[in-house]
C-alpha cells in the first residue's frame, strides 16, 4: 500500500490525522476504488495503534468512501453513479441559493478569506508542478466551503461534503484524464466572487452558470466510464 503522507497538523489527534490522510488519498485516487485497507498495516504506517485507524475508517464509511465487511476487512468504495448524481444535484440546488442570499452582502472577513483562497489557486496553477492538480482541488473545495460558512451553513456543508464524495472523485479523474482547464475553473471562481462582492446583475443567469461550473465533468463522463470501468460499481 502506497500512501502520500502529509505532516501532522498542530493539535491533530491520531484519529483525525489518520482520517485526513486516508481521505486525501482516496479523493486523489492514490487509494483506488476496491483497494483493501489493512488496519494493522495502516497503524504501522501512521505509527499509531489500530484503534484510531479503525475509528478513521468508520468515519470514511459514513462518507460512503469505504465499505466495511464484517470479519473480512475494509475496502475503498467503488464510485456509485447514483451517488455521484445525488452529489451533483445537491450542490447544484443548494449553492446557487446560498450565493443568491449572500450576493452583495459578503462580510469583510469572508471577502479577505475568499480573496486569499483565489490568490492561492492562481499561484498553484502558475507553478504547474506534479502536485498542482491535488493542490488546486483542495483549494477548490475550500473555496466552496467558505461560501457555505459565509452563509452560516456549516451543517449543510458537512452534509454536502458527505454526499459529494463520489462526485468529487469523478471530477478528479476528469482533470487527470481529460486535462480539464483548471485555469477556466479558477476564472469562474473569480466571477462567483465578483458577484458576491457587488450583487448579481440582471444579465447573470446564476442557475445556468452553476450548472456549467459544477457539471464540467459530464462532457467527458462516458470516456471516463469506458477508460476506468474497474473504478465504478452499480
Buried b (16+ CB within 10 A) or exposed e, 189-204: beebbebbeeeeeeee
Question: Does 75 score more than 70 pLDDT?
Answer: yes
* pLDDT of the residue at 115: 97
- DSSP state, residue 31: S
* pLDDT of the residue at 2: 81
Portion of the chain with pLDDT greater than 90, in percent: 74
* pLDDT of the residue at 232: 95
Task: Output the pTM of the full model.
Answer: 0.90
* pLDDT of the residue at 234: 64
* pLDDT of the residue at 95: 94
Across-strand partners of 232?
A: 79
* pLDDT of the residue at 119: 97
pLDDT band for 204, please (50, 70, 90 cuts): confident
pLDDT digits (tens, 9 = 90+) for 115-163: 999 999 999 999 887 788 899 999 999 999 999 999 999 999 999 999 9
Q: Checking DSSP bridges between strand 73-76 and strand 36-37, what pairing results, if any?
A: antiparallel
Question: Does 165 score more than 90 pLDDT?
Answer: yes
* pLDDT of the residue at 80: 95
- Interacting residues of 207 by C-beta distance below 8 A, sequence separation 6+: 96
pLDDT digits (tens, 9 = 90+) for 17-64: 999 999 999 999 999 999 999 999 999 999 999 999 999 999 999 999
Q: Is 2 exposed, middle or buried (0-12, 13-18, 19+ CB in 10 A)?
A: exposed
Average per-residue pLDDT in the chain? 92
* pLDDT of the residue at 199: 87
* pLDDT of the residue at 127: 87
pLDDT band for 99, please (50, 70, 90 cuts): very high
* pLDDT of the residue at 193: 95
* pLDDT of the residue at 203: 78
pLDDT digits (tens, 9 = 90+) for 168-181: 999 999 988 878 88
Q: Is 221 exposed, middle or buried (0-12, 13-18, 19+ CB in 10 A)?
A: middle
- Interacting residues of 192 by C-beta distance below 8 A, sequence separation 6+: 99, 147, 213
Amino acid at each position: 500500500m502506497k500512501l502520500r503522507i502529509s505532516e501532522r497538523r498542530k493539535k491533530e489527534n491520531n484519529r483525525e490525522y489518520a482520517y485526513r490522510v486516508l481521505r486525501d488519498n482516496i479523493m486523489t485516487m492514490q487509494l483506488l476504488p476496491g483497494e483493501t485497507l489493512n488496519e494493522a498495516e495502516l497503524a504501522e504506517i501512521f505509527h499509531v495503534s489500530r484503534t484510531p485507524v479503525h475509528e478513521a475508517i468508520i468515519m470514511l464509511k459514513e462518507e460512503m468512501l469505504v465499505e466495511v465487511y464484517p470479519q473480512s476487512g475494509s475496502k475503498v468504495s467503488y464510485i456509485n453513479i447514483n451517488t455521484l448524481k445525488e452529489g451533483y444535484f445537491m450542490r447544484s440546488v443548494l449553492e446557487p441559493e446560498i450565493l443568491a442570499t449572500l450576493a452583495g452582502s459578503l462580510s469583510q472577513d469572508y471577502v479577505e478569506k475568499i480573496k486569499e483562497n483565489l490568490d492561492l489557486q492562481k499561484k498553484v496553477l502558475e507553478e504547474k508542478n506534479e502536485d498542482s492538480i491535488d493542490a488546486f482541488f483542495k483549494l477548490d473545495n475550500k473555496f466552496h466551503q467558505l461560501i457555505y460558512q459565509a452563509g452560516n451553513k456549516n451543517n449543510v456543508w458537512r452534509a454536502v461534503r458527505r454526499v459529494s464524495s463520489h462526485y468529487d472523485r469523478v471530477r478528479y479523474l476528469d482533470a487527470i484524464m481529460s486535462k480539464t482547464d483548471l485555469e477556466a475553473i479558477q476564472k469562474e471562481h473569480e466571477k462567483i466572487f465578483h458577484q458576491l462582492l457587488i450583487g448579481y446583475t440582471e444579465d447573470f443567469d446564476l442557475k445556468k452558470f452553476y450548472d456549467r461550473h459544477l457539471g464540467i465533468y459530464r462532457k467527458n463522463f462516458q470516456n471516463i466510464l469506458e477508460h476506468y470501468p474497474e473504478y465504478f460499481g452499480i
